[in-house]
Amino acid sequence: MPKSLRVLITPRIALLCFLLILIVMGAVPSYWRGNWSLSQLPPVINLKQIRAIRNTGLELTEWKTIQQETVELGGNKWSFQAIKGDYSKPILLLLRPQDSSKSQPQVDWADINSSRRWNTDSDKMIKFTVESSQLSQSVGASKLEKTVTVEARLFRAWTNRQTFAVLQWYAWPEGGHPAPVRWFWAEQLAQLHRRRVPWVAVCIQIPIRPLGKLEEFQPLATSLAKIVQNALMRGPLSRVEMGESKLGTYTG
């Protein structure tokens, strides 16, 4: 590369890096303190339906709910749901929905770890894609098929009594990730277009034999994760405002 071109590019790169640092230093601390300004932002679509998950759980047509209750972990209310389907034992589904326009993902996984008091290993990240129909905002409200990519944390957890394959992520309309900061950046980008990114914390706990190999249960965990993400996208996380009767229904 010519020396003159290097001289021209380097200051620009340095300036961009400097601006990025300023954004991070200004925005991220406010995020963690929970006091970043939301007064001029639009409301979260379907917040009432999202919040209702705490009391109703999530309806999955391929799985039957055999128990659902609201529990408190780390000062936050979760839906604790036991579901039965194509597996020998009930699977536990924990959901913490966004409960206000200002609530943010933060230490949910630490709250679960603290309450369960389990040991963990075999930690890995997995990716899966979900297709969902959304209504367009054009005249006629035609349906648009969209595919989103979700990343989730898969690990093995055990206590003296039980071993689980655990899958965790934050679900939002255009994807999902277990790291709160990934939602934060998605929210910041959405705010540029006067939009919001609603979210739900998801934790799937699959009982497995003592210290069973995690790889054997990854297909089941991934399959169930797709169903949960799809149900959320079609239901409470839909970009289209919903009626009460459509809460959390998966029809795929």
Same domain, 127 and 70: yes
Q: What are phi and psi of 233, to 5 degrees?
A: -65, -40
Pair 73, 112: CB distance under 8 Å: yes
A 10 A CB-CB count for 209 gives 9
Indicate whether 134 and 85 sit together in one domain: yes
User: CA 14, CA 11: separation in Å to the nearest integer?
Assistant: 5
Are both 72 and 8 inside the same structural domain? no
State which residues form the domain around 156. 40-250
From the number of C-beta atoms within 10 Å of its C-beta (0-12, 13-18, 19+), residue 59 rates as middle
Count of the separate structural domains present in the chain: 2
Q: Are residues 2 and 94 in the same domain?
A: no
Q: How far is CA 61 from the centre of its chain?
A: 20
| Domain shared by 20 and 120, yes or no | no
pLDDT of residue 29: 52
Among 85, 171, 178, smallest CA distance to 126 is for: 178
Q: Do residues 92 and 22 both lie within one domain?
A: no
Q: Is residue 86's pLDDT more than 70?
A: yes
- Distance between CA 97 and CA 83 in Å, rounded? 18
Structure confidence at residue 131 (pLDDT): 86
Confidence of residue 193 (pLDDT cuts 50, 70, 90): confident
> Average pLDDT, whole number, for the chain?
83
d(CA 48, CA 114): 29
Q: What is the DSSP string of the chain?
A: --HHHHHHHHHHHHHHHHHHHHHHHHHHHHHHHT----TTSPPPTTHHHHHHHHHH--EETTSEEEEEEEEEETTEEEEEEEEESSSSS-EEEEEEE--STT----SHHHHHHHHHT-EEEEEEEEEEEEEEEEE-SSTT--EEEEEEEEEEEEEEEE-SS-EEEEEEEEEETTEEESSHHHHHHHHHHHHTTT-----EEEEEEEEESTT--GGGGHHHHHHHHHHHHHHHHHTTT-SS---GGGTTEE--
Whether residues 55 and 3 fall in one domain: no
What's the half-sphere exposure (Cβ side, CA atoms, 13 Å) at 171?
29
In the predicted structure, residue 28 carries a pLDDT above the cut 60: no
Same domain, yes or no, for 61 and 29? no
Same domain, 115 and 19: no
Matching residue, tokens 């079609």 = 234
What is the per-residue pLDDT for 22? 45
Same domain, 8 and 116: no
- pTM across the whole model: 0.79
Q: Which residues are paired to 207 by β-bridges?
A: 164
Q: What is the pLDDT of residues 145-180, one digit of tens each?
A: 778 999 999 999 999 999 999 999 999 999 999 999
* One domain for residues 111 and 9: no
One domain for residues 163 and 147: yes
- Measured at the alpha carbon of residue 245, what is the angle toward residues 240 and 246, in degrees to the nearest 5? 40
Residue 206 has pLDDT above 70, yes or no: yes
The predicted pLDDT at position 61 comes to: 80
Instruction: Give Cβ neighbours of residue 246 (< 8 Å, ≥ 6 apart).
Output: 49, 235, 238
Distance CA 158, CA 118 (A): 5
